[in-house]
Amino acid sequence: MMRNDPIKHVFIWPAVLVVLAISIFPLIYSLTTSFLSYRLIPPIPPRVVWLGNYATLLQEPRFWSALFTTTLIAFIAVGLQYAIGFGVALALNARVPGERLFRVALLLPMLLAPVAVALVARMMFNPTMGPLNQFLSKFGLVNLPFLTNGHWALACIIAVEVWQWTPFVILMMLAGLQTLPEDVYEAAELENASAWQQFWGITFPMMLPISAAVVFIRLIESYKIMDTVFVMTGGGPGVDTETLTLFAYQEGFKKFNLGYTSALSFLFLIAITIIGVTYLALLRPHLEKRR
């Protein structure tokens, strides 16, 4: 086949059309909707407001509160997941007795549906019937307002996120640890390097690329948190635990405010992009040093 053979179009265009149909057109439609004042209920005919929805959103304290809550959950949860996950992966990599059992048991939370996990957590943290408060009561301690106080509720959501997604970090870090070359460690031991020195001098730098990828994936995923918050607190008390996705759900599927919700989705996309780009920019010098 020649470079300018028209037959090439037969092979290329179907693929291009499929990509356009399933990813680009919905995005364009959503972007167009974000410039409209468009409600399904009560039915209001679409009206072009250009950047009106964006301006309203940026002046909306609830949007900033949701962004702050989401960022807080994402950064604290992912930080803890990484620290605990890396630690556990190191322990499992050291071939402790019963390592296989630990490996399977520690991976189980990740296999459960987030909704089921959130339901169980909701029962665990139930103020009157939950085992946690019953346990505290046995020691004469007061019942804690786990899901009825904003700070406690946020802490509970973070705890559930950490419990469920640390196994993912363990899995990825363990896979990375198992690819590290043995001879580097043997050389370090000959130099009498302590375990701590080996970790900071060899393990951590060599694991940096995979760490960067794991944290990036988890960060993006954590920003999309919805099911856990929806089931555990519904965004309450007030809007103390309302995340961006939950805010978008309330606007889109409760109030059917489509234009506003589309604008919110695009602002969400912009926020995630800024965070992702900043994160990669900050890490780039360290990653390039490793090459």
List of residues contacting other proteins (CB under 8 A): 39-44, 62, 126-128, 143, 145, 147-150, 234-240, 250, 253-257
Distance of CA 239 to the CA centre of its chain: 20
**DSSP codes of every residue in 246-258:** HHHHIIIIIS-BH
Instruction: Provide the 3-class DSSP secondary structure of residue 69.
Output: helix
Distance of CA 82 to the CA centre of its chain: 12
**84 Cβ contact partners less than 8 Å away, ≥ 6 residues apart:** 162, 166, 169
* Least Å from the CB of residue 100 to other proteins: 40
Nearer to other proteins (CB atom), residue 64 or residue 253: 253
Nearer to other proteins (CB atom), residue 80 or residue 232: 232
Nearer to other proteins (CB atom), residue 150 or residue 201: 150
Reduced 3-state DSSP string for 89-115? HHHHHCCCCCHHHHHHHHHHHHHCCHH
How many residues make up the chain in this entry? 291
* Least Å from the CB of residue 128 to other proteins: 6
Nearer to other proteins (CB atom), residue 181 or residue 234: 234
**Beta carbons within 10 angstroms of residue 114's beta carbon:** 18
* Least Å from the CB of residue 234 to other proteins: 4
Nearer to other proteins (CB atom), residue 6 or residue 43: 43
**275 Cβ contact partners less than 8 Å away, ≥ 6 residues apart:** 219, 223
Q: How far apart are alpha carbons 194 and 45 in whole angstroms?
A: 71
Nearer to other proteins (CB atom), residue 8 or residue 255: 255
Q: Do residues 107 and 170 touch, judged by C-beta distance below 8 A?
A: yes
C-alpha distance from residue 108 to each of 119, 122, 134, 166 (Å): 16, 19, 26, 11
**132 Cβ contact partners less than 8 Å away, ≥ 6 residues apart:** 124, 125, 144, 146
* Least Å from the CB of residue 278 to other proteins: 31
* Least Å from the CB of residue 122 to other proteins: 10
Nearer to other proteins (CB atom), residue 44 or residue 180: 44
* Least Å from the CB of residue 98 to other proteins: 40
Nearer to other proteins (CB atom), residue 68 or residue 253: 253
* Least Å from the CB of residue 40 to other proteins: 5
* Least Å from the CB of residue 30 to other proteins: 17
